[in-house]
């Protein structure tokens, strides 16, 4: 049957005439806009640029922790000021991260990312060039602002450029982030000793931010201006905070980050109190990050292939719970086992990053959900190191702090089960 016409009737002796509809193109149909790179080479370059940004996302934070005593002495930081510096990352990630969707609606994503990496590099250089504690805090905030913007953008960029490989690419960039975290933590002190100053141990990472700028600059120069009217209209309708899914995502992100920052800030002290040499305690802390590398690599791919995330949520929560109980009861004897279990439990971080892309249909939905979940989540996360420190100081032991982390883990598990079922943020707004 062609063009809706009915063929004339045939006699019984004749076999039926089988006709086939042949589409005849009239006017060309506009294809959906695809932002994935047109060539394999372009895809490799964008992937390299994304991975380089991910390498930068924690080095300014984790390089400071091992050198904090030297920084305090060199700049005359008070205990309160040093505590504020350690809490500053979560404050910056929450405050500046919330502005990122607004920036992306008005400027090309590649250009926003170039500026973010410039802020990171300049901030790291300026903070080592001062003898003022106030300037050090302000320039650290400048560097962290660049990280905050990049935090929100990476899930969106993965969805834009690698829509059919989102799990694999998310796994690659979370692995890159994890490697940067562990390398900076492990090498900050040796670099400082090699150059005779804590400033070298902090400032060397500005070169990595410059590499990211160089990789993204050509993409930024070619980036088209965003279609402001259409993009702004679509994005302004997406308010994740008004949906159950958005709130559950923020809670899961926040509580897993609370655990992660508490571990990063206090696990080495726990092992030192258990009788380990300070250097060994630092290596055990680095072991959590190192053991988490394969977890970060495979977790997003597993998330994209499973019908529900329930098994992953439950396995990681069980691993974290077992690690916390072990750290409370036998921190010295079973240290390696607790480190390994903790690394599995920290797989909640790459899982939630992958889930942000899985729970949005569009790039606008992804950046809106990423902005809300991460900015709100980091407000929750800021409580982790603070409350663990207060409980440790008040009780003089680790039972109460670990009990607090177990209670937070219960909330994290419930939020994880709430986001395990496949659905989309755009659909809950209808």
CATH number for the domain spanning 370: value is: 1.20.1250.20
- Range in 30-39, 229-238, 289-298 with the lowest mean pLDDT: 30-39
Q: In this predicted model, what pLDDT tens digit does every residue of 149-163 receive, in sequence order?
A: 999 899 888 888 888
Answer whether residue 259 is part of any domain: yes
Answer whether residue 139 is part of any domain: yes
Answer whether residue 13 is part of any domain: no
- pLDDT, residue 41, reads 57
Q: In this predicted model, what pLDDT tens digit does every residue of 395-423 receive, in sequence order?
A: 989 999 999 999 999 999 999 999 999 99
Q: How confident is the model at residue 236 (pLDDT cuts 50, 70, 90)?
A: low
Q: pLDDT averaged over the chain?
A: 84
Answer whether residue 313 is part of any domain: yes
Q: Do 186 and 295 have their domain in common?
A: no
Q: Do 172 and 257 have their domain in common?
A: no
Last residue of a domain, one of 205, 236, 267: 236
Answer whether residue 20 is part of any domain: no
Mean pLDDT of 110-115: 93
Q: How confident is the model at residue 20 (pLDDT cuts 50, 70, 90)?
A: very low
Q: How large is the angle between the packed helices 109-127 and 40-56, nearest 10 degrees?
A: 30
The DSSP string of 341-394 is: HHHHHTTHHHHHHHHHHHT-SSHHHHHHHHHHHHHHHHHHHTHHHHHHHHHHHH
Answer whether residue 34 is part of any domain: no
The DSSP string of 81-142 is: HHHHHHHHHHHHHHHHHTTHHHHHHHS-HHHHHHHHHHHHHHHHHHHTS---HHHHHHHHHH
Q: Do 283 and 229 have their domain in common?
A: no
The C-alpha R_g of the chain, in whole angstroms, comes to: 25
Q: Do 212 and 252 have their domain in common?
A: no
Q: Do 80 and 216 have their domain in common?
A: yes
Number of domains forming the structure of the chain:
2
Question: Residue 17 pLDDT more than 90?
Answer: no
Q: Do 393 and 292 have their domain in common?
A: yes
Q: Do 361 and 426 have their domain in common?
A: yes
Q: In this predicted model, what pLDDT tens digit does every residue of 77-90 receive, in sequence order?
A: 876 777 778 778 88
Q: Do 146 and 252 have their domain in common?
A: no
- Range in 80-84, 179-183, 390-394 with the lowest mean pLDDT: 80-84
Pull the structure tokens for residue 262: 């508490």
- State the Cα–Cα distance between residues 3 and 61, nearest whole angstrom: 66
- pLDDT, residue 55, reads 94
Last residue of a domain, one of 202, 236, 270: 236
- State the Cα–Cα distance between residues 371 and 58, nearest whole angstrom: 18
- State the Cα–Cα distance between residues 394 and 412, nearest whole angstrom: 25
Answer whether residue 27 is part of any domain: no
Q: In this predicted model, what pLDDT tens digit does every residue of 31-47 receive, in sequence order?
A: 334 344 445 556 888 99
Q: Do 257 and 383 have their domain in common?
A: yes
Q: Do 130 and 219 have their domain in common?
A: yes
Q: Do 88 and 62 have their domain in common?
A: yes
Q: Do 319 and 185 have their domain in common?
A: no
Q: In this predicted model, what pLDDT tens digit does every residue of 339-364 receive, in sequence order?
A: 999 999 999 999 998 899 899 888 88
Answer whether residue 397 is part of any domain: yes
Q: Using an 8 Å Cβ cutoff, are 252 and 419 in contact?
A: yes
Neighbour-count burial of 333, counting CB atoms closer than 10 A to its CB (0-12 exposed, 13-18 middle, 19+ buried): exposed
- State the Cα–Cα distance between residues 250 and 185, nearest whole angstrom: 27
Among the listed residues 256, 255, 243, the one whose alpha carbon sits nearest the alpha carbon of residue 360: 243
Q: Spell out the alpha helix ranges (H) of 274-334.
A: 278-305, 310-329
This prediction has a pTM of 0.76
Q: Which domain holds residue 409?
A: 239-430
Last residue of a domain, one of 236, 257, 292: 236
């Amino acid at each position: 049957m062609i063009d809706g016409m009915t063929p004339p009737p045939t006699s019984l002796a004749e076999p039926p005439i089988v006709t086939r509809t042949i589409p005849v193109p009239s006017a060309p149909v506009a294809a959906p806009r695809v932002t994935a790179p047109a060539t394999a080479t372009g895809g490799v370059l964008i992937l390299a640029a994304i991975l380089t940004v991910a390498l930068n996302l924690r080095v300014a934070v984790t390089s400071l922790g091992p050198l904090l005593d030297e920084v305090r002495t060199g700049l005359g930081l008070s205990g309160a000021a040093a505590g504020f510096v350690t809490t500053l990352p979560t404050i910056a990630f929450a405050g500046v991260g919330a502005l990122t969707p607004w920036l992306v609606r008005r400027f090309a994503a590649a250009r926003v990312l170039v500026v973010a990496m410039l802020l990171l590099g300049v901030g790291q250089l300026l903070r080592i060039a001062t003898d003022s504690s106030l300037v050090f805090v302000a320039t650290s905030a400048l560097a962290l602002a660049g990280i905050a913007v990049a935090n929100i953008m990476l899930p969106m960029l993965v969805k834009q450029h690698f829509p059919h490989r989102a799990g694999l690419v998310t796994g690659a960039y979370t692995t890159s982030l994890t490697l940067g975290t562990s390398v900076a933590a492990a090498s900050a002190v040796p670099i400082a000793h090699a150059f005779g100053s804590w400033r070298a141990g902090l400032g060397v990472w500005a070169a990595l931010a410059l590499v990211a700028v160089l990789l993204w600059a050509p993409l930024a120069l070619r980036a088209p201006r965003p279609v402001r009217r259409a993009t702004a209209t679509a994005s302004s309708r997406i308010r994740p905070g008004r949906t159950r899914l958005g709130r559950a995502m923020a809670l899961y992100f926040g509580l897993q980050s609370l655990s992660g920052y508490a571990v990063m800030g206090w696990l080495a002290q726990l092992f030192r109190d258990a009788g380990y040499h300070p250097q060994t305690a630092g290596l055990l802390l680095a072991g959590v990050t190192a053991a988490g590398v394969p977890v970060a690599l495979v977790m997003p791919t597993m998330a994209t292939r499973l019908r529900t995330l329930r098994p992953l949520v439950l396995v990681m929560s069980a691993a974290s719970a077992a690690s916390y109980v072990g750290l409370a009861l036998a921190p010295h004897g079973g240290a390696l086992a607790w480190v390994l279990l903790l690394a599995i439990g920290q797989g909640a971080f790459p899982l939630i990053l992958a889930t942000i892309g899985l729970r949005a249909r569009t790039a606008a939905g992804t950046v809106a959900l990423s902005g809300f979940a991460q900015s709100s989540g980091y407000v929750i996360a800021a409580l982790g190191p603070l409350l663990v420190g207060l409980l440790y100081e008040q009780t003089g032991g680790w039972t109460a702090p670990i009990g607090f982390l177990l209670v937070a883990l219960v909330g994290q598990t419930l939020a994880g089960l709430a986001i395990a079922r496949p659905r989309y943020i755009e659909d809950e707004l209808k």
